[in-house]
A and B are shown apart, each in its own frame.
Chain A
Amino acid sequence: QVHLQESGPGLVKPSETLSLTCSVSGGSVTSNYWSWIRQSPGKGLECIGYMFFTGRSNYNPSFASRVTLSIDTSKNQISLQLTSLIPADTAVYYCARARRSGSGYYFDYWGQGSLVTVSS
């Protein structure tokens, strides 16, 4: 059973950078794709992007200019960095395992989510 656990700051100031980490247990980050998804009251569920441990990645155009996903195979962790934060980035951020299906992807394991509030 794959288990994912997000960690990071609950409060970040506007214009700063958000850094979140997701620890994976019960499976290796070197198999499958991994993704970050956020959920805010105003916009529902949004896939920020996904990546494979080799570095192959794809980002939602809405975030592409300010997001970086990375994978640390030595720690079995995936990470998210989102720059230039604004209050509208306030959301619950989930990490999830992404499974490939044809040309698309879906998410079969999710972390419990990390609430991030952007406020001064």
Chain B
Amino acid sequence: SNDLTQPPSLSVSPGQTARIACSGDILSRQSAYWYQQKPGQAPLLVIFKDTERASGIPGRFSGSSSGTIVTLTISGVQAEDEADYYCQSGDITDTYPVFGGGTKLTVL
């Protein structure tokens, strides 16, 4: 079972705000990271250390953290943001990296 839990899917209209949550006990003591994956491509780092945007990532992507829940927010969603999004942190014993199950973001 995943140590990190995400909703399997989310649908938003262009221009709206998408918020993808990720929950897990490890998040209260370890940072979270977010990846975007489009079909046929490798994952791309979007957010690191809970809130830092990776190089080249548009400003509409942001991350936040509160207790055991971290959230990826995409403000003003664009069609090109349609992808799978994965959170990542450590496992519950804090020994190796684990990923959430992923959230498929659909832009209507």
Structural contact, A47 and B97, CB atoms closer than 8 A: yes
Which of chain A's residues have a CB closer than 8 A to the CB of B90? 103-105
Query: Of A58, A111, A112, which is within 8 A of B96 by CB?
Result: A58
Number of interface residues of A (CB under 8 A): 26
**A45 near B: Cβ within 8 Å?**
yes
Give complex CA distance A76, B65 in Å. 37
Query: In the complex, what distance in Å separates the CA atom of A3 from the CA atom of B4?
Result: 29
Does A53 make an interface contact (CB < 8 A)? no
B61 in contact (CB, < 8 A): no
B43 touches A110 (CB 8 A): yes
Where the two chains meet, the residues of B that have a C-beta atom closer than 8 Å to any C-beta of A are 2, 30-31, 33, 35, 41-45, 48-49, 54, 86, 88-90, 94-102
Interface of A toward B, CB cutoff 8 Å: 35, 44-47, 49-50, 58-61, 94, 98-99, 101-108, 110-113
